Amino acid sequence: MTAVGPRPLAIAGGAFQVQHRALIGPEIDLGDLSAAAVPAPMLPLARSIWQERVRTEFRSIQIMTRFLTEVTGAGDPLDVYAIAADLVADEVRHTELCAAVCRRLGVMPHLPEPVELVEPEAFLKSAMPERALTTAISMLAINETISNALVADLLDRCDYEPIRRVLAATLEDETTHGSFGWDYVGASLARFDAGSISHWRAVAAHALAPHQSFAAQAAARRSENGEDERELARFGLLTPERQAIVFERTMKTTIVPRLRALGLLDPEPPGTSDRAPG
């Protein structure tokens, strides 16, 4: 049997819902948020951005679940597992928050397609400690730092309570883990021999590449957009130009210094200290 089109994100209800609430926390009060609360010209963008967020948060559930398998498969210290399990629960909560916004905006939240997380064969065949560190560098350290910065930037500029509550709940989850991802990367690097550092630098560069090319494309249009955008931020929305500004700022303040401290950036040629990392 073949399913046609994207599958809606389903709710099981009953005992599942009770346990879900106990673990994930109460539903967020979305106040008067509705399709009618959003200016008509902005509604299609609002719907598509929040639907896309459901799909990416769902991917995060899958990646964090995979990470839990990887840290246990690697035989990591016992006290690593609670945070890894908590990361999965956080992403379930984020997916639920974004789905709730979609329903208020009058659109269905969908699963990504394909639903299954497809990984390169070479990655799946590598040893668990290597897989865990690859996931920690790309997802926990780099991608999470960027997405937290984007949510924090939206929250700074958003003046509409229902959306502020969604953004604040997302950020609160992320900040409880502090610098877990970066700390894990530092500790895990120590179990690989020094010669492997060029491989880990390549993993970091590979994780940064799509963000860098997205930011470079958006930079070309920067003069028109991306400055303040409070009317978009009100509904949790932003342009690619604003996203590029936040990415570049986060690179400078957090990602580059952290990667450099871990030896995960290629050493700079003399006299190029202001250049973005390659």
Angle between helices 128-135 and 180-189 (to 10 degrees): 140
| Strand, helix or coil for residue 115 | coil
Compute CA distances 169 → 53, 92, 125, 140, 162, whole Å: 15, 12, 37, 18, 11
Nearer to Fe ion, 57 or 96 (CB): 57
Nearer to Fe ion, 94 or 234 (CB): 94
Backbone angles phi, psi at 210, to 5 degrees: -65, -35
Q: Residue 200, CB half-sphere, CA atoms under 13 Å: how many?
A: 28
- Closest separation between CB of residue 60 and Fe ion, Å? 5
Angle between helices 240-250 and 197-219 (to 10 degrees): 140
- Closest separation between CB of residue 169 and Fe ion, Å? 11
- Closest separation between CB of residue 160 and Fe ion, Å? 21
- Closest separation between CB of residue 143 and Fe ion, Å? 8
Name the residue whose CB lies closest to Fe ion.
Answer: 94
Secondary structure tally for the chain: helices H, strands E = 12, 0
Nearer to Fe ion, 130 or 144 (CB): 144
Residues that bind Fe ion (CB under 5 A): 57, 60, 91, 94
Nearer to Fe ion, 37 or 102 (CB): 102
- Closest separation between CB of residue 193 and Fe ion, Å? 31
Nearer to Fe ion, 147 or 239 (CB): 147
Residues paired with 165 in a beta bridge: none
